[in-house]
Amino acid sequence: MRAQTSTVWWLTLATAASLAGASFALSRLDEGTGLRLAIACVPIALYAATLLRIARVKSREDEMLRRIQMEALSIAFPLGLFAIVAIGYVVKALDLGWFEFVDAALLLLIAYSLSFAMVQQRYR
């Protein structure tokens, strides 16, 4: 079970990195290029792989891991929303154009990863 959870952890981190990288690359490339579409598909594919892996792990996990997952989600969701709202208002106030709605997924993944690690440490 630990190896399966580790795979989900690494897929989540890879997805977060690809979201950040794709956002950065798409902001720098000219519109209308096929490369933009290819770059946009990378985080989508990783996100899908992460969701599939989570579904497989969920069907086989024990009660303790389910409890850890639920506690992590209960921390991550409000933390992620707070980060989205806080950054969104700062971006509006300073008229910065770098943060877009799609970047919220990155913040939610980071919040979930941090809260999962924190809750998992508590149950060790």
**CA–CA distances in Å: residue 93 to residues 86, 89, 99:** 11, 6, 12
What are the structure tokens assigned to 101, written together? 């709605």
Q: Is 1 a residue whose pLDDT tops 60?
A: no
Q: Is residue 85 within 8 Å of residue 33, measured between CB atoms?
A: no
Supply the pTM of this predicted model. 0.60
Residue 95 has pLDDT above 80, yes or no: no
Give Cβ neighbours of residue 105 (< 8 Å, ≥ 6 apart): 19, 43, 47
Using alpha carbons, select from 51, 41, 1 the residue that is nearest to residue 21.
41
Residue with tokens 């971006």: 91
Nearest to 101 by CA among 112, 113, 92: 92
Q: What is the predicted pLDDT for the residue at 4?
A: 62
Tens digits of per-residue pLDDT, 57-86?
Answer: 777 777 887 888 888 888 888 888 888 888
Mean pLDDT of the chain: 81
- Note down the domain range covering 85: 2-122
Placement of tokens 């399966």 in the chain: 4
Higher local confidence (pLDDT), 38 or 81: 38
Domain count for the chain: 1
Choice among 10-14, 47-51, 88-92, 119-123 with the minimum mean pLDDT: 88-92
